[in-house]
Amino acid sequence: MSPVQPEIQENRRLASVAELASRRGAEQAWSRFAQAQSHEEFCSSWLAIQCDSIGGVSDGVVLLQTPGSREYVPVAFYPEAARDRTHLAEVAERTLKEGRGVVLPLDNAATEQRYQLGYPVRIDGEVRGAVGLEMDGRAEAQLQSAMRSLQWGSGWLEVLLRRHVDPATAAQLRLKLALDLVGTLLEQGALRESAAAFSTEIAMRLGCERVAVGVLKGRTVKLVGVSHSAQFDERANLLRAVESAMGEAVDQGEMVVSPPPRDGLPVVTHAHDVLVRDSGAGAAATFPLVCDGEVVGALTLERSAPYRFDPESLELAEALAAVAGPIVELKRRAEANLAVHAGRSATGLWKKLTGPRNPGLKLTALLTAAAALFLSFATGAFRVSADVTVEGRVQRAITAPFNGYVKEASLRAGDTVTAGQPIGRFEDRELQLEKIKLIAQRDQVERQHREAMAKHERAQTAILGAQLDQSEAQLALIEEQLARSVMTAPLDGVIVSGDLSQNLGTPVERGQVLFEVAPLDGYRIVLRVDERDMAHVSVGQRGELAVTAMPGEPLPFTVTSIVPVNLAQDGRNVFRVEARLEDEKLTGSPRLRPGMTGVGKIHVEERRLAWIWTRSFADWVRLKAWSWTP
């Protein structure tokens, strides 16, 4: 046997013993950690686990804030044997001051290079403690791994602080954290951006490796946001496993945690177990998002191995899910199209009608249904409405017989007149002067005509005879104009238009209409029917009218003629329909006068009330559909 072999075997034995001792120390630390009765024991066992996991740690300390004060005290050391650890004060102070991870190299010519690491312990963004370690030299990648281990492990200290903080401060911290997280969900407008920001903030605040938000579409859950990922591929196997876990929680309507806590609910965790196994996470938890008593989505949290969810974190996450549910559903509804909105409104209304509450809504729906049935089967008189004007059966106009000026106007519109009664007078002074001039000319020509006859001058006699006839004709024309200078009523009746009392001395032109007179012994009714209703109007139909002067006394009439000419009135086309009053006693009545206006209704036939009230809209729809049809 070579003399070297015993030495090799001895080294292997010592290594095996050291490995076994390290394993037993780690098992004891985990056992103490799981059964810790005080926060000092909890921190001490946690620090031992961290130092054993990182390796090469010579000194370690945990500083925590005293509840209700701003002082920091050491609560755990590694190793627990008493020694001077003032050399860790610098890294601990810098960590508390800067609020971030710190790495300090220690250069000593007598020994190899060493490093000091510090990492803060936060609650809701505020520094509440720090961890300081001193370790042997190693590569940068190994330093980053050690810092990452402290980062993930600090979540346990956060749990400890939440447990031992005073109730008022704990409530304030939880409220602040909840408001901050919900604020990130409300900051963005779109659902996907809001879900991404919300999940990322939860992952950072609760020490989660991944957080995902999903919404229920039909019977499946679809991801809308994943932490630290603005875009993600829903077809990825891991994200499909997350959706399956969400579906498992949604189907049960309960929180699902894997591995389940000690007092876990009796729920199925198969999909969550698969998610933990495939992702290599330490724990996964899903919380249904509920709005108005219905599950609308899910919130899934994952923590890296070997960390699990403590009851405080689960309680906080459950509260966040309860608040986030209505907000997520509100954003999803805001992004839905019109058809989806209509479907949701109809579904919501149906649930209210069939549910145990809303008696007023049910009564309204019942009355509406009864009214709809009544209108669908009940019939009524279908009548066409139109504007009405009362006109005289004969209407005479008084026009200006020549160009002149108004001298008198004793009557005006609305006055009753008899045939031949003067209404007004024109200025006739120029006509009188013209008449005197023509009489003088006639007398002169007549005298010359007699002298020519006495001298037997036949040619001159003929010429003067013709001039005499011309003078007689001109004089007769002047006399006719003088006779017409007085405006008289052409018949017994009422003046329906014309008022010159305010225009005395006003020039008028020949043929200008000055007055209109209608008789009182005969009226006709003029209805202006809209072109959309002309298809229902025919000669011989009966109806009633109500004039503005007598709105409470309907007057029966019969349609006599339809004028096939349309007129533009108030932006619509109307046709002139004439009718006569059936009550002859109204003819000449002082209560009814030409020019009165009102509303007339022509009786067509009996129709269903629903058709009568909706026919205008139905006709409009048919016309538009016809115009849009290619």
**What CATH number is attached to the domain comprising 263?**
3.30.450.40
Residues 181 and 313 in one domain: yes
Residues 48 and 151 in one domain: yes
Residues 60 and 86 in one domain: yes
Question: What one-character DSSP code corresponds to residue 492?
Answer: S
Is the residue at 384 inside a domain?
A: no
**135-139, 283-287, 582-586, range with the lowest pLDDT:** 582-586
Is the residue at 609 inside a domain?
A: yes
Model pLDDT, residue 14 = 47
Model pLDDT, residue 296 = 92
Q: Is the pLDDT of residue 588 over 60?
A: no
Residues 98 and 182 in one domain: no
Q: Taking all residues of the chain, what is their mean pLDDT, rounded to a whole number?
A: 81
Model pLDDT, residue 603 = 93
- At which of 283, 302, 335 does a domain end? 335
Q: Is the pLDDT of residue 144 over 70?
A: yes
Q: Is the pLDDT of residue 542 over 80?
A: yes
Taking residues 124-133, report their average pLDDT: 84
Is the residue at 409 inside a domain?
A: no
Give start and end residues of each alpha helix (H) in 206-310: 237-252, 270-279
Secondary structure class of 42 (helix, strand, coil): helix
Take residue 362 and report the two structure tokens written for it. 């049910």
Taking residues 551-560, report their average pLDDT: 88
256 or 2: which carries more pLDDT confidence?
256
Residues 291 and 435 in one domain: no
402-419 burial by CB neighbour count: b if 16+ within 10 A, else e? Answer: eebebbbbebbeebebee
- At which of 303, 335, 367 does a domain end? 335
- Convert the pLDDT of each residue in 467-511 to its tens digit: 888 888 888 888 887 777 778 887 777 777 777 777 777 788 887
Q: Which long-range contacts (CB under 8 A, 24 or more apart) does 89-97 make?
A: 90/116, 91/116, 91/117, 91/118, 91/132, 92/61, 92/63, 92/118, 92/130, 92/132, 94/118, 95/119, 95/120, 95/130, 95/131, 95/132, 96/63, 96/72, 96/120, 96/127, 96/130
Nearest partner of 562 among 540, 547, 578, judged by Cα: 578
Is the overall model pTM greater than 0.75, yes or no?
no
Please state the domain count of the chain.
5
Measured at the alpha carbon of residue 306, what is the angle toward residues 305 and 310, in degrees to the nearest 5? 105
**228-237, 291-300, 301-310, 351-360, range with the lowest pLDDT:** 228-237
Residues 175 and 158 in one domain: no
Q: Is the pLDDT of residue 2 over 60?
A: no
Measured at the alpha carbon of residue 326, what is the angle toward residues 324 and 328, in degrees to the nearest 5? 65
Model pLDDT, residue 446 = 84
Taking residues 622-630, report their average pLDDT: 87
- Convert the pLDDT of each residue in 412-443 to its tens digit: 777 778 887 888 888 777 778 888 888 888 88
**What CATH number is attached to the domain comprising 572?**
2.40.30.170
Please report, for residues 539, 551, 603, the alpha-carbon distance to residue 536 in angstroms, rounded to integers and kept in the order given. 10, 25, 9
Residues paired with 103 in a beta bridge = 117
321 or 426: which carries more pLDDT confidence?
321
Band the pLDDT of 405: cuts 50, 70, 90. Answer: confident
Band the pLDDT of 109: cuts 50, 70, 90. Answer: very low
Band the pLDDT of 18: cuts 50, 70, 90. Answer: very low
Residues 470 and 596 in one domain: no
What's the helix, strand, coil split of the chain in %, to 5?
45, 30, 25
Nearest partner of 227 among 243, 246, 208, judged by Cα: 208
Model pLDDT, residue 175 = 67
- At which of 165, 190, 218 does a domain end? 165
Q: Is the pLDDT of residue 261 over 80?
A: no
Q: DSSP readout, 121-155?
A: EEETTEEEEEEEEEEE---HHHHHHHHHHHHHHHH
Q: How far apart are CA 299 and CA 324, in angstroms?
A: 9
Is the residue at 40 inside a domain?
A: yes
Residues 534 and 618 in one domain: yes
Q: Kindly tell me the burial class for residue 281, based on how many C-beta atoms sit within 10 Å of its own C-beta (0-12, 13-18, 19 or more).
A: buried
Residues 199 and 246 in one domain: yes
Model pLDDT, residue 21 = 47
Model pLDDT, residue 385 = 92
Band the pLDDT of 25: cuts 50, 70, 90. Answer: low
Band the pLDDT of 9: cuts 50, 70, 90. Answer: low
Nearest partner of 545 among 392, 394, 389, judged by Cα: 389
Residues 76 and 182 in one domain: no
Q: In terms of residue numbers, what domain contains 185?
A: 170-335
Taking residues 32-57, report their average pLDDT: 78
Residues 325 and 188 in one domain: yes
Percent of the residues in the chain that have a pLDDT greater than 90, as a whole number: 13
Is the residue at 550 inside a domain?
A: yes
Is the residue at 419 inside a domain?
A: no
Model pLDDT, residue 37 = 66
Residues 6+ apart with CB under 8 A from 469: none
Is the residue at 434 inside a domain?
A: yes
Q: Is the pLDDT of residue 351 over 50?
A: yes
265 or 613: which carries more pLDDT confidence?
613
Band the pLDDT of 458: cuts 50, 70, 90. Answer: confident
Band the pLDDT of 39: cuts 50, 70, 90. Answer: confident
Residues 130 and 267 in one domain: no
Is the residue at 503 inside a domain?
A: no
Q: Is the pLDDT of residue 391 over 90?
A: no
Model pLDDT, residue 17 = 42
Nearest partner of 138 among 114, 117, 108, 102, judged by Cα: 114
Residues 6+ apart with CB under 8 A from 32: 41, 44, 45, 48
Chain centre to alpha carbon of residue 230: 28
Taking residues 623-627, report their average pLDDT: 88
Model pLDDT, residue 82 = 67
